[in-house]
Amino acid sequence: MELATLVNDQYALWNVFIALLLGAIIGTQRGWVQRNSAEGSRVAGLRTYSLVGLLGGLIGVLALQTSFLVIGFALVATVILAAIAFIAQQKQSDDLSITGVVSLVLTFVLGVLAVCGETVVAAAAAVLAALVLDNKKALHQGLQRLQEYELDAALRLLLISIVLLPLLPNRTFGPWNALNPYEIWWMVVLIASISFVGYFAIKIGGPKRGILFTSVFAGLSSSTALTLQFSHLSRAQPNISPLLASGILLSCGTMFPRLLIVLSLINPALVTLLWPIALVMMMALYLPAWWIWRRSDIGDIEPSEQQSNPLALQSALFFGVVLAAIMLASHALSDWFGEAGTLLLAALSGITDVDAISLALGRQSTQQLGVSTAALGILIAASVNTLVKMGMVVAIGDRALWRWIAPVMSGCVVVGGIVFWFFER
C-alpha cells in the first residue's frame, strides 16, 4: 500500500512539473514580446505564467483529493485577479487587448488538465496557444488582406460541411437502393473544398506552386473533382491552361499509387500483379505533367469571376446532381442485364468512382474471384474513369486544355492495356 502511495505521489509530482512547464511555454512567448518593457511594468511574464501553470496543477491535485468544486472556485479567483491586472494595465496605457488576460486564464486551465489525466491534450493546447500568440502580426496581416467574399466563401464551406453533412442519412434510398445522400453530399463538399483550397493556394503561392499543391491535395481525395474544377477554370483563364493541364495529369496519376496502398491492405497478391501496370500508367501521366509544368511560364492570374468566387458552389451542386444520376443509371443497367460479369460491373462503376469497385474486387479476390479477373476489373475501372475525366475536359474545358490532356490520357489507357496483356501472356 505504501508503494502504491509512493507511485501515485511521484505521478502527481511529475504532472505538476508538466503543468509548470506548460505555463513556461506560454510565458516564454509573452515575456519575449514584452522583453523591452521596463522592469515591473509588465503585468505577467515568464515567472508569472509559470506560477499560474503550477497553481493550476496544484489545484488539480487538491481537486482529485477533495472535490472538483475547488477547480471552479479557483478559476473564478484567477479570472478576478486577471481582470484586476487588466484594469490596472489599461489605466497606464491605451492598450485594450485582453489577450494577456485570456492567456493567463488559459494557462491555469492547462495546468489543471495536466494533472487531471489530460496531459497530452494540455501539452498540445499549450503549443497551439503559443503559436497563435506568436503569430499575431501574420494573423492580423492575413485578416487585413482577407476580402469580404473570401470570408463569405469560408463560412459557406463550413455550413455545407460541418453543419449540413452530418445531418444527412448515411444509407441508401430510391430505386435499387442506388442513392446515398451522405455520399453524394460528401462529393459536393469535396469539390467545393478543392475549389476553396485551390483559390487560396494560387493566391498565396502563385499559379505554378498553387496549382501543383492543389493537384496533389486532390489526387489523394478526388481527381475527378479537380478535373471538373480546373476545366471550368480553363474557360475563365485560358492563358493558364498548360498549368491546369499539368495539375489534372498529376492528380489523375496519383490515383494509381493510392489504389495500390488501399489494395495492399486487402490482398497483397493483387498488388503483386497490378503494381507494374499501375506504375507504368502513373508515369505515363506524371512525366507529361512534369514536362508541361516545367515549360509553362505564367505570371499572375488575371482578375476574373473565379477570383471572386473561391467556393464554386454551383459547380459542386451540379456535379452532385450528375453523380446521383450516374449512380442510378449504373444500378439500373446492372439490374436489367443481370450479372453480365464482373468486368461489365467494373466498367459501369468506373464511370463514377474507382475506389469502391476496387475495394469490392479486392475483397472478392480473397474468396471466390480469381486474382487475374479482379486485376483486370480494376484496370478497366481505372481506364474508364480516366476516359470519363478526359471527356469532362473535352466537354467543359478550353480547347487548349483538352489538346494537352486528350493525347496523354488516351496514351495512358493504351499503355496500361498493353502492359497488362504482356504480363498475362
For the stretch 357-413, pLDDT in tens is 776 667 667 766 677 777 888 888 888 888 988 988 888 888 888 888 989 999 999
Angstrom distance (rounded) from CA 414 to CA 24: 62
Q: Pick the residue with more confidence: 320 or 250?
A: 250
Q: Give the alpha-carbon dihedral of 356, 360, 366, 370, to 10 degrees.
A: -110
pLDDT for 368: 62
When pLDDT is cut at 50, 70 and 90, the band that residue 285 belongs to is: very high
Lowest mean pLDDT across 48-57, 98-107, 187-196, 276-285: 187-196
pLDDT interval class at 149 (50, 70, 90): confident
Q: What is the residue extent of each domain of the chain?
A: 2-141, 148-424
Mean pLDDT of the 285-304 span: 71
Q: Which pLDDT value is given to residue 6?
A: 40
Whole-number pLDDT of residue 303: 41
Quote the percentage of the chain above a pLDDT of 90.
Answer: 14
pLDDT of residue 337: 61
Give yes or no for residue 107 having a pLDDT over 90.
yes
Q: What is the pLDDT of residue 42?
A: 58
Please, what is the end-to-end C-alpha distance for the chain in angstroms? 73
Least confident of 225-234, 253-262, 288-297, 346-355: 346-355
- pLDDT band per the 50, 70, 90 thresholds, residue 207: low
HSE, CB side, 13 Å, CA atoms: give it for residue 293. 21
Q: What percent of the chain has pLDDT over 70?
A: 78
Confidence at residue 33, expressed as pLDDT on a 0 to 100 scale: 72
pLDDT at 21 over 90: yes
The pLDDT-based confidence of 95 (bands split at 50, 70, 90) is low
pLDDT above 50 for 100: yes
Question: Per-residue confidence at 341, pLDDT binned at 50, 70, 90?
Answer: low
What is the arithmetic mean of pLDDT over 148-168?
A: 86
**25-39, 72-86, 162-176, 317-331: least confident range:** 317-331
